[in-house]
Amino acid sequence: MSLTAADRLARAQGQLLAANDLDINKLQNGLANLWGRGADYGDLYFEMTTRDTWSLERGKVARAAFGISQGIGARTVTGENTAFAYSSDISGKAIDAVTAAARTMQSHGQEAADTGRGVGITGSSQDSQAYSTLEAAGGFDTIQKVALLRKLDDMARAVDPRITEVNAQLAAEDATILVCATDGTLAGDIRPQVRINIAVVAEGNAKRASGSAGDGGRFTLGEFNDGRLEKLVRKATSIALTNLEAIPSPAGEMTVVLGNGFPGVLLHEAVGHGLEGDFHRKRESVFNGMMGERIAAPGVNVFDDATVPDARGSLNVDDEGVIGQRTTLIEDGRLVGLMQDKTSARIMKDSMTGNGRRQSYADLPMTRMTNTFLERGPYDPEEIIASVKNGIYAVEFSGGTVDITSGQFNFSAEKAFLIEDGKVTAPIEGATLIGVGNEALKHIAMIGNDLELGIGFCGKAGQTVPVCVGQPTIRMDKVVVGGAGA
């Protein structure tokens, strides 16, 4: 079913306002309360979210949970100072309470002055049209959800007798949000989100090894057909079975080929966070003062794109009511743009990019990534591997750490191989990639044509939001690899 921005706004108003005996006049009065003397901006954010999660362990349902959360967040901003209050109640009384609390904090505990300013809000007729699903479960009942997990379990165990443990999780979430602001914003969204994860353990050669994989986005559970499930199972079991045969990784400076998809997490962490506007206005990013300069090799193009159809990180509108957008961050190796929320854009006199996100109504919005990826290039992946005399092929990544201020990163390869004379040979374990984000991208020598996005969670300042990370297969020269051979 195709929905327009007006449809989504109407549904959000019905679920969050009409159902709680609220109307536009009450919102406008609440905003007028927030807009205290000297305040630059104020907004109200309404949210109702339902979450349904299931977990299967060793062939049996281990956990199931269903929850509903709802509430209001009120914010007023003066310069760089923000006052924020929230309530789990959605009512006229709650609006009065949270706006009064935020306004009092904004005035530093002094008597809040009369605003003398009315606020008019108007619904937007546009959004990014990135998704239109109304219900994440897609009509799946309890029996069908458990059957989906059991199918994953059966598929994984059938791959190889060495697969001894299988755990699978399913989550379906539906969020309705409404945001109004003193700048006239009035926007709503209906946001489905589904996710499936599988983790396996393989045993052999007197070793145990694990592997995992996940898939999801803003669509229904019905999209998880056999082909999609088989891809998940192949990935998780391949990681575990490969690592049963792995030998210690070599160490030193070498050429590394990074696989497509989730290895884009290195780009997300080592570069993406450093291109968020709030880190720039606070001068905490290693990329400060580098706009227009070359920070990557020629041919490197990096985007943050909230408009990718049905993707996990996509947004029709962000949590400040700004339309989801495709933002060019790096063009042909040069830094050309930043991700911005309303506060950073105002202070930096830059354009808003639709990157204002929050974990829930109880959290402040901040600049966050959506779907961040390195664009595809001209090379076939096999051609890239064949170009390497000696190096490693890091197919999948697990955890890592990054220092935003210095740009230093450290990432562990979950599945990796040696490359010898242009061919992929022995699997290796313990490979860790070490470097500095603003230098590493300058050593990209070849970019593949097989762009893929992987799903993940992004953490920042104690908040977690869903994102996609991605890239095609790429070759990076002069990468420091830490390994068992160090």
Architecture in CATH of 5-244: 2-Layer Sandwich (3.30)
Structure tokens at 119: 């606020």
The gap from C-alpha 263 to its chain's centroid, in whole angstroms, comes to: 14
Phi, psi dihedral angles at 95 (to 5 degrees): -60, -45
The answer to whether 181 and 121 are in contact (CB under 8 A) is yes
What is the C-alpha to C-alpha distance for residues 287 and 111, in angstroms, rounded to an integer? 42
> Domain boundaries in the chain?
5-244, 247-482
Q: What is the pLDDT of residue 484?
A: 64
Q: What is the pLDDT of residue 37?
A: 63
Residue 272's contacts (CB-CB under 8 Å, 6 or more residues apart) are: 304, 329, 369, 372
Q: What is the pLDDT of residue 109?
A: 43
Q: What is the pLDDT of residue 483?
A: 78
3-state secondary structure the chain: CCCCHHHHHHHHHHHHCHHHCCCHHHHHHHHHHHCCCCCCEEEEEEEEEEEEEEEEECCEEEEEEEEEEEEEEEEEEECCEEEEEEECCCCHHHHHHHHHHHHHHHCCCCCCCCCCCCCCCEECCCCCCCCCCCCCCCCCCHHHHHHHHHHHHHHHHHHCCCEEEEEEEEEEEEEEEEEEECCCEEEEEEEEEEEEEEEEEEEECCEEEEEEEEEEECCCHHHCCHHHHHHHHHHHHHHHHHHHCCEECCCEEEEEEECCCHHHHHHHHHHHHHHEHHHHHCCCCCCCCCCCCECCCCCCCEEEECCCCCCCCCCCECCCCCECCEEEEEECCEECCCECCHHHHHHHCCCCCCCEECCCCCCCCEECCCEEEECCCCECHHHHHHCCCEEEEEEEEEEEEECCCCCEEEEEEEEEEEEECCEEEEEEECCEEEEEHHHHHHHEEEEECCCEEEEEEEEECCEEEEEEEEECCEEEEEEEEECCCC
What is the C-alpha to C-alpha distance for residues 405 and 400, in angstroms, rounded to an integer? 16
Q: What is the pLDDT of residue 118?
A: 62
Q: Which residues does residue 56 pair with via DSSP β-bridges, in sequence order?
A: 61, 168
Half-sphere exposure (Cβ direction) of 200: Cα atoms closer than 13 Å: 31
Handedness of CA 27, 29, 33, 39 (dihedral sign): positive
Phi, psi dihedral angles at 160 (to 5 degrees): -165, 140
pLDDT < 50 positions in the chain: 109-116, 485-486
